[in-house]
Amino acid sequence: MEFAPCRKRSITTLSRVHEKSSATRSTGRVDYAQLANSDEADPADPLAVRFCAVRALRRAAFELSTDSDSFAALTDRVQEGIERFAKTRGHLKCSYSIEDLNDSESGHADVLKLFDEYLANS
């Protein structure tokens, strides 16, 4: 399947989320982003090692962007695309966001499963 450069970038960003959140899968819930010592961190902090699913998305977009404007635009574009997909598939109610899903009891796993399904259908 051939994707436009913009679409490829979105898929690449989402694919990198799994790299960023793999430590969290085995260690449980993480609020936002954490350093190795479990202190809270900004997702763009190069020392951050664990991320909630949404912050992993932000970190991946940050790593693929050349400046803060393109970082913000890429993050928004990918998240909005996933949310549209999730609402179409019934994973999210109309007024819910990925953050809402992430904050539910099995949220991190549910968001990663949603990301996997989105990638499989892209």
Every domain of the chain and the residues it spans: 5-120
Q: Is the pLDDT of residue 30 over 70?
A: no
d(CA 20, CA 48): 9
Interacting residues of 117 by C-beta distance below 8 A, sequence separation 6+: 85, 89, 91
17 — pLDDT class (breaks 50, 70, 90): low
User: Which DSSP helix (H) or strand (E) runs through 30?
Assistant: none
| CB count in 10 Å sphere of residue 41 | 21
121 — pLDDT class (breaks 50, 70, 90): confident
What does the pLDDT read at residue 59? 83
Distance CA 45, CA 21 (A): 15
Beta carbons of 54 and 102 less than 8 angstroms apart: yes
Q: Classify residue 97 as left (phi > 0), alpha (psi -120 to 50) or beta.
A: beta
What pLDDT does 14 receive? 67
For residues 4-13, average pLDDT: 55
In whole angstroms, give the CA distance from residue 8 to residue 22: 22
Judged by average pLDDT, the poorest of 2-6, 21-25, 60-64, 113-117 is 2-6
